[in-house]
Structure 1
Amino acid sequence: MAREYVYEARDLVDAGAMHYNVLARCPCGHASILESIDLWDWFRRRGWDIRIRAVPRRLKCTACEDAARARQGPSIELVRKEATVSLPTADLREFKREVQRRR
């Protein structure tokens, strides 16, 4: 049974700690689910902002890019579904250290 949390996730670390994944939907209709911990590691290594509200401007739709359409920012939401897109796997020890640092 999934836990219900009192507060909402503020960033990708919170989303990963609460076992959420990121659903990104492009206005063209294409949608992908990304593992939040792997996405956190991807953003951290590049020095990008990991807050939930800042994530969409770093994501792009591969379907639109392949069709050479203008880039449109996706909308995101947190879901408890399996990831459909794989990113390089994050070091879970590093993620757990980050979670411990926040307590």
Structure 2
Amino acid sequence: MTETRDWYDARLTHLQFLALYKWNVRVTCDCGRTAVFSGAGLWWRFERKHWSDRLQDVPKRLTCNACKFDRRPRKPPRCEKTRDEVTHPLPMPDDREWRKMVSRYRS
């Protein structure tokens, strides 16, 4: 079972895969504030803006609203996969776009 689990975790390297496997993303700012986004909603936001959806690139695009105008330099927020309930809903992709993305990975 460990081999299967390792393969499963190794595959979750992009927002696209988190969305497919129904994971959410917890974002924690350096100041301690936390938000949980839907994996599909966050993937759709990055897809529409043509940003890289690799998990290592995601924190570079996210900022804390409370710290946004603070002049002190801050580290990028930490992102991790979670099954927690979504606290900040984002617009979800329409059915056509969602099915198109799912069909790429179905086989």
Q: Percent identity?
A: 34
Unaligned runs of 5+ in 2: none
Report matched runs for 1:1-103 at 5 Å: 6-8=7-9, 9-65=12-68, 68-70=70-72, 71-102=74-105, 103=107
Segment drifting more, 88-97 vs 17-26: 88-97
Shift of 1:22: 0.4
Q: TM-score, normalised on structure 2? A: 0.81
Shift of 1:69: 4.4
Aligned length: 99
Letter in 2 for 1:7: Y
Counterpart Cα distance in 2 of 1:92 and 1:65: 33
CA radius of gyration, larger in:
2
SS of the aligned residue for 2:51 comes to coil
Counterpart Cα distance in 2 of 1:90 and 1:50: 15
Counterpart Cα distance in 2 of 1:95 and 1:81: 22
Q: TM-score, normalised on structure 1? A: 0.84
Unaligned runs of 5+ in 1: none
Runs of 4+ in 1 over 6 A off after TM superposition: none
Counterpart Cα distance in 1 of 2:92 and 2:16: 15
RMSD: 1.8
